[in-house]
Structure 1
Amino acid sequence: MDPTPRLELPADLPADLVLPSTVEGTAVHELVIKKSRFIARATHVESVEEADAVVAAVRKELWDARHSCVALVVGQRADRQRSSDDGEPSGTAGVPMLEVLRHRGLTDVVVVVTRYFGGVLLGAGGLVRAYSSSVSEVLDRATVVAREPRVEVVLETDHASAGRLENVLREWCHVHRAVFATPAYGTGVELAVLLRPRDLASYDQLVASETAGGTVPVVRGWQVSDIPA
């Protein structure tokens, strides 16, 4: 018979929480289609204001371009979305770019695609394909970061046991994609781990085994963590 679980998930953690991913840093990629240059830049941002600053910087840097079209998605639940055709025919740039971000399940990212006109008209369909492809290809080159809920679990131990227990917990964290926090030293030693909700029981059993049941971890809460995909 399995032992009775000693730990429970935080009451405010939704059981079915799925969060959009994001990108790390900035990725840049250029396409040339019928002599027109499409320079795509995908950048991680934390707010709409930060995204606006990125757009402004691109337009200042590439001031001689005819168009710098924009799509952005911001917010933990991807609840703030915006796009701009920047002078291209309505619906041929910003919205197709935004659809790529939605399809990829991304948030906290702004994409700017700057076009240098090459003298050959692409038509509405050609523009949609060009701007969509620009975003898809720059995202293919970006570092995607998954966002997952992590439960914070802490335990107290004495200084004599801390070193051995820390090594065991670090090894477990490596296998289970958990995050081992910096130990806090005082009269005792506090060891904290950020782990996936589904691994809570496994972690509890490990601690029980390594401490002969003498140490019971405490669930302190939960947070959203960025995990390289």
Structure 2
Amino acid sequence: MPNALAHPVHSALIIKKSRFIGCVEAMPDRAGAIARVAALKAEHPGAVHVCWAFSGGGQSAAVDDGEPSGTAGRPMLEVLRHQDLEGVLATVVRYWGGTKLGAGGLVRAYTDAVAQALLKAEKIPLVKLQTLSCTLPYAFEGWLRREIEAAGAQLLAVQHGSQVELSFALPAPAASAFVTRLNDAGQGRIGWLKVQADADAPGCIEVAGRPGSGRVGQFRPG
């Protein structure tokens, strides 16, 4: 199961007097990654390279920023993929120490800068949620609210008209059984406006969080 990061994590390495400052952090998209790298370059005007890698939302990037091709961005991206991270940006700022490290030395340095940062990372599993909407008589509203809370689902919206309309989300694998239970207990009084029986169908989203924790991270289409 893919994971996101709860908080940014950092590392600092000195190899043959070159200083490597690593950071791995949650990032929603490539545009955000580019903006973050631009900010790092402004923060470190004396650095010779700001290399980076991004993975998330079906997109990826591996940028060497002047280092020999394939010695920085690609190894950093491989670390993210090996640890099954999603929606994550890894950056390494390098200050020149006066000694060339060679291709192998650079690969090890950039790999280690990311890997050491991730040793301190708190990972959060990405849980695919399914959104459901239904209508029901007012007399059933309190009961359904209790059922939603007991299932650990997230109540998203409530509208009151001729009937009550509720929208909520819960882990996709549990959706089908939950709908069946409500139909049985609701005596045929529940009308479903949108039911996604397939976890891969439109309307599913992935969020970073632990079941029941209330922690919500990045949303992206499933």
Taking structure 2 as the reference length, the TM-score comes to: 0.75
Once the two structures are superposed, residues 158-190 of structure 1 have per-residue CA deviations (whole angstroms, 9 ceiling, x without a partner) of 333312320122111x2xxx4332323333222
* Map of 1:179 onto structure 2: 154
Match 1:40 to one of 22, 30, 33:
22
1:112 aligns with 2:91: yes
How much does 1:71 deviate? 1.4
Residues 184 and 86 from structure 1, CA distance in 2 versus in 1: closer, same or farther, beyond 3 angstroms? Answer: same
Distance 1:186 1:25, change over 3 A: farther
RMSD across aligned C-alpha pairs, in angstroms?
Answer: 2.8
Which residue number in structure 2 is paired with residue 13 of structure 1? none
Deviation, 1:131, is 0.9
Identity level (%): 33
SS for the counterpart of 2:157 is: coil
Question: Which position in structure 2 is the counterpart of 1:94?
Answer: 73
- 1:70-219 alignment to 2 at 5 Å? 70-74=52-56, 76=57, 78=58, 80-119=59-98, 121-172=100-151, 174=152, 178-219=153-194
The 1:31–1:213 alpha-carbon spacing in structure 2 relative to 1, beyond 3 Å, is farther
On the 8 A contact 1:148/1:227 being kept in 2, the answer is: yes
The residue identity in structure 2 corresponding to 1:225 is: E
Deviations 1:116-148 (A, max 9, x none): 234555443332122112112333444544444
The verdict on how the C-alpha distance between 1:24 and 1:170 changes in structure 2, with shifts beyond 3 A counting, is: same
Give the residue type in structure 2 aligned to 1:153: L
How many aligned positions are there? 204
Q: Which runs of 5+ in 2 are unaligned?
A: 197-202, 211-222
CA-to-partner distance for each residue in 1:21-51, whole Å, 9 max, x for gaps?
4445643333344543321122333333322
Segments of 5+ residues of structure 1 without an aligned counterpart are 1-17
Given that 1:35 and 1:117 are in contact with CA atoms closer than 8 Å, whether structure 2 keeps it comes out as yes
Q: Does 1:29 align with 2:8?
A: no
Instruction: Tell me, yes or no, if structure 1 residue 228 matches structure 2 residue 203.
Output: no
- Equivalents in 2 of 1:86, 1:151: separation in Å? 40
- Tell me: higher relative CO, structure 1 or 2? Use CA pairs within 8 A at least 6 residues apart: 1
Give the residue type in structure 1 aligned to 2:167: A
